[in-house]
Amino acid sequence: MMDKFYVGVCDLITSSLSQLENDKPQLYSRVQLKEFTKDFSQPLGSGGFGDVYKGQFPDGLFIAVKVLKNIEFKEKVMEKQFVAEVETMGRAYHRNLIKLYGYSYEANTKFKALVYDYMENGSFHKILFEKKLDIPWAKLHNIAKEIAQGISYLHESCSPQIIHQDIKPSNVLLDSNFSPKVIDFGLAKVNTGDSQFEQTKIKGSRDYMAPEVNQPEQVKLSCKVDVYSFGKMLFDILGSKRNHVDKRWFPGQVWEKYKTNQLDKFILECGIKEEDKENAKRLAIIALLCVEHNPRARPMLSNVVKMVEGEIKQLNTPVAPFYPDYYLSESSSMSDSRDC
């Protein structure tokens, strides 16, 4: 009986270790990827750095295969981003981060590919800006919360810390249940040193880029660059229900309405229903807190999650979002002013 017990325990341990090994990104050949994707016959999309194809593992699991383009003058950048993606996603596991099943690399042909989980509902960008689907406000609110959870995991639960540096709606995909997964870690910074780091090249998308990233003088950066980008994405969510086109800058409109105590009316004008007004108003204030020009004044993402959920009931007062001169200030009235 004892022997059978130990055999059972050994089998369980062996199985668990094998599963852990399988959870790591696996190396696939180009031949395997051609088989999985039926010779790359089902394109899902295309971008500046690669083309994405739908595929399927032999066990029936659907996957998305991103084949990176060979662009000669961008070759070094592509190599760095490929390595960053594999290294970063090889150490990060969270339900709101895309799962990287594996990769392919052939030095002689410069063939590079990444194998991800397939997301049925595609890009969050298309839903927000192309009105691909009319998602209820409650679902949008939950998507915002889950994105914050995923980024918070990178900042506060990973060791070493991971800073994404390119948070935006097109880098979020939605699964069949509209649960978001943060993708594209090609610009990610694995922060092995202090809480702050220096950056020699500007990274990220301009519309979502924190002001300190684009300073003429070199400044110390932190995970608060992701907080700023997330705040800008919250504005995208708030404005996604609008049926009219207003050429004025939407985040600036939110700030002006907040300062003049007209935010309640403005929320309704944005196409959000009365029953969702308070919830949306709260999200607007959180967005303003996230985009404070002073990085120290921005909340940590773990606290943002608590704000969105209502666990932190009393929100701080936004001080100076969008005002460059405030960035130089060393003082802040925010309670969550520590660096990450």
Assign residue 261 a region (left: φ > 0; alpha: ψ between -120 and 50; beta: otherwise).
left
**Which residues does 63 contact at the CB level (< 8 Å), separation at least 6?**
36, 54, 55, 56, 57, 101, 115, 116, 117, 118
- Angle formed at CA 50 by CA 224 and CA 96, multiple of 5 degrees: 40
Q: Token pair 């009105």 is at which residue? A: 131
CA 62 to chain CA centroid, nearest Å: 22
CA distance 74 to 88: 21
CA 15 to chain CA centroid, nearest Å: 32
Annotated catalytic, 166? yes
Peptide bond connecting 211 to the previous residue in cis, omega within 30 degrees of 0: no
**Catalytic hit among 166, 184, 226, 236:** 166
Check the annotation: does 277 bind a ligand: no
Query: CA separation (Å) from 2 to 5, 10, 291?
Result: 5, 12, 62
CA distance 229 to 239: 16
**Which residues does 99 contact at the CB level (< 8 Å), separation at least 6?**
89, 93, 116, 117, 181
CA distance 100 to 252: 37
Annotated binding-site residues read 66
Which residues are known to be catalytic?
Answer: 166
Annotated binding-site residues for ATP read 66
